[in-house]
Amino acid sequence: MQPEHTLAAYTTAFDLGVDGIECDVRLTADHHLVCVHDRRADRTSNGKGVISTLELARLEELDWASWKKLDDGSASEQMDRDPDRGRILTLNRLLDSLTSQRQELLTLIETKHPTRYGGLVERQLVTALRAYGLTTGDLTQLPHVRVMSFSLLALVRMRGLAPQVPLVYLVEQSAPRLSWDGSLPVGVNIVGLDVKIVRRNPSIVKAHQRRGHEVYVWTVNQPEDVERCVELGVDVMISDRPRDVMAMLD
């Protein structure tokens, strides 16, 4: 397996024939959007510090791959063959790669909050998407973008900035029961459910679909969860193990 949120990871996913990809975005100190899950660089690089306090040039000096060994244990040899493997991935580089595929790949972009930059995250995201022609709805031979967040305020900002981009309201296991009856905030038509919610309360899937909402479930890695999602008619499964899930679905 490739290191998370690297171009190598997404290229591998493309080669597997996945229907879509997911990424998390954060702003650097000099306001570049980078694809990093964690608030800090410590876990997935050889550096330390909060992403939002580091400039892109500093983040590009770090190794974002050697922490993750390949299936054969050969992290360093792979780095020699592909130095790009350990380079931090900017959203623009990912969008370059996605648009070059000339496919309607579902592209889920999560804005991470809270952040010191507040609404600047969404403004920068819309600027980037607009540059690639991705703010006017789903088009042929282009990625089909969905913006996701646990922050309702972030989704409200996105709706104001790019009303044609579909939004996904992410819901954790500990979420208020308001969303359990199938209701969603105005302007949001997709719910992203923690797989733990679906395990405990599978009827929530139909509750949302009866209201015309799509249902995405994360993170679907276990075979029993894949089977459950298929039986329930979940619209999208988000997984860290695409090869295994696709094999089960064949």
List pLDDT tens digits, range 85-111: 899 999 999 999 999 999 999 999 999
Please state the rounded mean pLDDT for residues 146-172. 97
List pLDDT tens digits, range 125-150: 999 999 999 999 999 999 999 999 99
- Cα–Cα dist 225/220, whole Å: 6
What value does the mean pLDDT of the chain take?
Answer: 93
pLDDT at 70: 52
Q: SS3 sequence, the chain?
A: CCCCCCHHHHHHHHHHCCCEEEEEEEECCCCCEEECCCCECCCCCCCCCEHHHCCHHHHHHCCCCCCCCCCCCCHHHHHHHCHHHHCCCEHHHHHHHHHHCCCCCEEEEEECCCCCCCCHHHHHHHHHHHHCCCCCCCCCCCCEEEEEECCHHHHHHHHHHCCCCCEEEEECCCCCHHHHHCCCCCCCCEEEEEHHHHHHCCHHHHHHHHCCCEEEEECCCCHHHHHHHHHHCCCEEECCCHHHHHHHHC
pLDDT at 4: 93
pLDDT at 173: 84
pLDDT at 177: 65
Among 197, 201, 203, residue whose Cα is nearest residue 219: 197
Pairing of strands 20-27, 33-35: antiparallel
pTM score of the predicted model: 0.94
List pLDDT tens digits, range 174-226: 877 666 789 999 999 999 999 999 999 999 999 999 999 999 999 999 999 99
pLDDT at 221: 98
pLDDT at 52: 98
Q: How far apart are the first and last CA of the chain?
A: 21
pLDDT band at 168; cut points 50, 70, 90 = very high
Lookup: tokens for 54: 């580091």
Q: Which CATH number fits domain 166-249: 3.40.50.720, 3.20.20.190, 3.90.1150.10, 3.30.1330.90?
A: 3.20.20.190
Among 141, 142, 167, residue whose Cα is nearest residue 154: 167
Please state the rounded mean pLDDT for residues 78-82. 57
